[in-house]
Structure 1
Amino acid sequence: MLPPVLQRLRIPVVAAPMFIVSGPELVIAQCKAGIVGSFPALNAREDRGDTPLLDIWLTRISEELDRHNQANPDQPAAPFAVNQIVHRSNARLQRDIEICHRHRVPIWITSLGARPEVNEAAHDCGGIALHDVINNKFARKAIDKGADGLIAVAAGAGGHAGAQSPFALIQEIRDWFDGPLLLSGAIATGRAVLAAQAMGADLAYIGSPFIATEEANADPAYKQMICDSGAMDIVTSSQFTGVSGNYLAPSIRNAGLDPDNLDSAEASSMNFSDASGKPKAWSQIYGAGQGIGAIHEILPVSARIDRLAQEYQQARESLLA
């Protein structure tokens, strides 16, 4: 049984939080179209001394969704989520936790470490905590530390991705865990959403298709590269962040590097501090998942979700027939 906040979605989809790409415009459009929209807290960066941009973003998102719900009582917006990077280098973590707690964020997504105090903060303001994992060992640790649900990040996912087949990852987790389970990894069509459920996941976790939308905070060249590329154009490397991730080979070439001969980097090089140079690197090296072969045009978010919903329904009817 899913918690109420994850029920009554138009289709069983949570939009993945994407570094730089996910902002208020994208989140609001996703929620209005009926799926959970999300963004990383670290995307909201302000100059020193200014009002925290995260505070401003959360106020805007809550107010716009509230206005939408008042105007559309029969089709209310889906809830939103905020992703917290729990890595030790994130000097903003405590401040961002306090801001999200004050705004009563309904869904908290944690990455790169499981912290009981973050889960407790989510629960204290009435929210739920979902933790992303790449294997069964990390899944057990996350639940032991108080997470309500899991996001299984399988091979083929964009950005920081796991190496395991979704079949193996889901079946090992479902062997002992019956709570909320999401699947991430090359999901770009409604048929793939249904396949994720058939494997045992409750919801699909989709990122890369939303890069190629009008509301995404992405360079036009990035959006077009998504449309022009396929699974063969995805390169896996740890060079850019210290953790294995999936990236678009054309963007690596554009940065003057050879995607077939990349160096490796240690996890200790990962840095999410405000002074980190990583945002600059990520703005030049584009992350994406292996499912982008299904994405051929840049669309408004509403149109992309309409298409997903139509494909999902057609796939259900085809299997039932």
Structure 2
Amino acid sequence: MTDTTLTKMLDIKHPIIMAPMFLVSNVAMVKEAMACGIAGCIPALNYRTLAELRSAIQELKAAKVAGGAFGFNLIVNKSNVKYQEQLQILCEEGCDFIITSLGSPQETIRKAHEVGIKVFCDITDLAYAQKVEAQGADAVIAVNNQAGGHRGEMKPKELISLLNEYCKIPVISAGGVGTKEELDKMLSYGAIGVSVGSPFIASKESNITEEYKQACVDFGAQDIVMTERISGTPCTVINTPYVQKIGTKSPWLERTLNKNKKLKKWVKMLRFYIGMKATEKAAQQATYKTVWVAGPSIEHTKQILPVKDIVEKLIH
């Protein structure tokens, strides 16, 4: 592949970041990604303890001798009570980059830059992109309406073009990539690289249930729906019979409480906690109450493959 700003920034062969996926991403997946010449990222919240997070960083640093780059995703708002300690460990141990989500990245940018760590910020619109640019972000992760999980509202081309016109920092596109053709399309729109998540869910190295992986094989883009029942913010999931049964809207009481300015923050935090626990259970055991997070790019998932084979599909 042609070198881009992203390949130079992270010293990788291909302009691809394996996106951080809650409860899916792990060290084994990122080690394989790095061996293939791409970057890999893991949510810091995938680790129950700070000691486990530190151990994961050390293992990835040891594996990096073969090339590639690795980073971690930080939830930087009050819903993540571990944020401060997670940031401290990342800065102490070191990594190539941090991706921030759901909050102001100002403190993360300042502390990460002090130790030479790049910071990319999830954004869904121009206003927020300009805010993080002013705070010193190295690049934005432009989350479009084809992304899995918490997605944006704008189409890929529209969002990338808008950001390139009004921002000076580089744009990494997130969403809508499951093939090389789609990757090339994002680069042609002006992105310096792509963040790809859902195609890696059904990988040999992910330690989720076989049922979750097989669902990504059996279902396609038309089976992805938005639900408010995980975090209170619309999130894409596979439209299983259980999802159809419970519906995708927040319960009436929750919607009512969200209208109260004093209670809204606490209701959001409670919904986030309940939703994350439900997602964790679905990822680790198969029950009839299954909520599997995924994006429309599972359309291209036809079998469960090793990470290296999935990367090959994206670059050849």
Q: Into which bin does the TM-score normalised by the smaller protein fall?
A: 0.7 to 0.9
2:309 is equivalent to residue 303 of structure 1: yes
Summarize the Cα distance change of 1:22–1:169 in structure 2 as closer, same or farther, 3 Å threshold: same
Distance change >3 Å, CA 231–CA 255, structure 1 → 2: closer
1:61 counterpart residue number = 60
Correspondence 1:291 to 2:297: yes
Deviation at 1:115, TM superposition (A): 2.5
Cα distance in 2 between the residues matched to 1:128 and 1:87: 19
Query: Aligned partner of 2:58: which letter?
Result: T
- 1:80 matched to 2:83: no
- Structure 2 counterpart of 1:262: 249
Q: Percent identical across equivalent pairs?
A: 29
2:220–2:299: 8 Å Cα contact kept in structure 1? yes
Aligned residues, how many? 293
How far did 1:298 drift? 0.6
Match of 1:173 in 2: 163
SS at match of 1:217: coil
Distance 2:270 2:246 in 1: 25
Matches within 5 A, 1:15-26: 15-26=18-29
Answer yes or no: is the 8 Å Cα contact 1:114–1:131 preserved in 2: no
Taking only aligned residues, the RMSD between alpha carbons, in angstroms, comes to: 2.1
Find 1:207's aligned residue among 197, 202, 206: 197
Q: Does 1:137 align with 2:127?
A: yes
- Superposed, which structure 2 residues align to 1:108-127 within 5 Å? 108-127=98-117
**1:92/1:7 CA distance change after superposition, 3 Å:** closer
Which among 201, 217, 223 is matched to residue 213 of structure 2?
223
Name the structure where helix makes up a greater proportion of residues.
Answer: 2
Q: TM-score, normalised by structure 1?
A: 0.85
Are 1:146 and 2:141 counterparts? no
CA distance in 2, matches of 1:152, 1:256: 30
Q: Cα distance, 1:233 vs. partner?
A: 0.3
Question: Which one-letter code corresponds to 1:286 in the other structure?
Answer: W
Q: Give distance in 1, aligned partners of 2:114 and 2:77.
A: 22
Residues 1:182 and 2:181 aligned together: no
Amino acid corresponding to residue 302 of structure 2 in structure 1: H
SS of corresponding position for 2:137? coil
Structure 1 residue 125: Cα displacement: 1.0
| Counterparts of 1:104 and 1:272, CA distance in 2 | 32
Tell me which of 34, 43, 49 is aligned to 1:40: 43
Alignment gaps of 5+ in structure 1:
70-76, 311-321
**C-alpha deviation, 1:8, in angstroms:** 4.5
Give the equivalent residue in structure 2 for 1:314: none
Q: 1:277 aligns with which of 274, 279, 282?
A: 274
Aligned partners of 2:96, 2:37: CA distance in 1, in Å? 15
Structure 2 CA distance for partners of 1:7 and 1:109, relative to 1, 3 Å: closer
For 2:274 and 2:192, locate their aligned partners in 1 and report how far apart those are by CA, in whole Å. 37
Distance 1:272 1:97, change over 3 A: farther
Q: Can you list the C-alpha shifts for 1:261-285, whole angstroms capped at 9, x where unaligned?
A: 5336657433399x93333211331
Q: Which letter does structure 2 place at the counterpart of 1:292?
A: I
Aligned equivalent of 2:13, options 10, 14, 26: 10
The equivalent residue for 1:315 is: none
